[in-house]
Amino acid sequence: MTGQNPKKMHSRSLMLTTVTILGALALWQAASSFTPVNSRLVPSPLQVGSAMIVMAADGQLEKDTLASVTRALAGFTLGSLTAIICGVLTGRSEAVRKSLGVIINILRPVPAISIVPLVIVWFGLGEMSKVFTVFWGVFFPVWVNTHVGVGSINIEHIWAAQSLGAKRGPVLLEVVLPGAATSILAGMRAGISIAFICLVAAEMAGASSGLGFRITVSHLTFRVDEMIAAIVALGLLGAVADRLFVFTAHKLFPWYARSQRGYQGD
């Protein structure tokens, strides 16, 4: 594939993606139109699209999307920052690894969804319970990747910096973190999808807005078209968040694009 025009390759990839999506929608519509499927149980793409337009027209979709994005962004930011700090500490210090690291590894297998009832008891049905649930889900993948990335830094690079007179702070900022950045960014990218999974679980447990709340309300009123519309909105939201993260990472860290070249979707 070497020697091909990158713009042509991108155009072909975009065209293939578009054709695949349109083909899937066409098959879905055909199955709804020409098979004895109950349209209330399995609405067609046109019905789902119509429901989404109605939800957008009355401001409902915008309100729910904004609420979900705000919660996801807050939990993702807090979880990532805390995880990076803890990952650096456990990756660089044996004492911290044998104390804090042990506690984190004990908590790591606990699914975020399982703590939702406890979080509601602690924080109520307000915004804090949603943000904390997202924080919990995001923290662990980012911590693992940071811990592994920091721990795998070539010790000779650190020795070289120290031999040139670099102190602990500059070594951390100019050697350790840049060397572990690829791993950290990979953990943060994984954390994006986990953030939305945890968010929906928290919103379905108790909220007055958000896409997860909308799915629950649609289920209670037997509006499957609105349920699927909210699910589609979540998928689009997650995909956009992922692309924005990748775009920003590529701009800030050009070498990240090369390290991810073989990753599907980049």
How many Cα atoms occupy the beta-carbon half-sphere of 121 within 13 Å? 5
Output the average pLDDT for the chain: 86
Q: What is the pLDDT of residue 57?
A: 93
DSSP secondary structure code for residue 38 in this structure: -
Which pLDDT belongs to residue 24?
87
Region 145-164: mean pLDDT is: 78
More confident residue, 28 or 99: 99
Quick one: which of 185, 203, 231, 225 has its CA closest to 71?
203
Distance separating alpha carbons of residues 244 and 118, to the nearest angstrom: 33
Q: Are 40 and 220 in contact (CB under 8 A)?
A: no
pLDDT at 264 over 50: no
Domains and CATH numbers, the chain: 66-259 (1.10.3720.10)
Q: HSE-up of 181 (CA within 13 Å, CB side)? A: 17
Positive or negative: CA dihedral 202, 207, 210, 211: positive
More confident: 252 or 23: 23
Cβ neighbours of 4 (radius 10 Å): 9
Whole-number percent of the chain with pLDDT over 90: 50
Q: With left for phi above 0 and alpha for psi between -120 and 50, is residue 44 left, alpha or beta?
A: beta
**Cβ neighbour number for residue 198 with a 10 Å cutoff:** 30
Tokens 């984190």 sit at which residue?
Answer: 104
Structure tokens given for 199: 């968010």
Q: What is the mean pLDDT of residues 162-185?
A: 76
Q: In the block, which residue shows the tokens 């911290």? A: 96
CA 60 to CA 65: how far, in whole Å?
9
Res 63 pLDDT > 90: yes
Whole-number pLDDT of residue 1? 44
Mean predicted confidence (pLDDT) in 93-99: 90
Number of neighbours of residue 14 by Cβ within 10 angstroms? 10
Residue 169 has pLDDT above 90, yes or no: no
pLDDT at position 68 over 60: yes
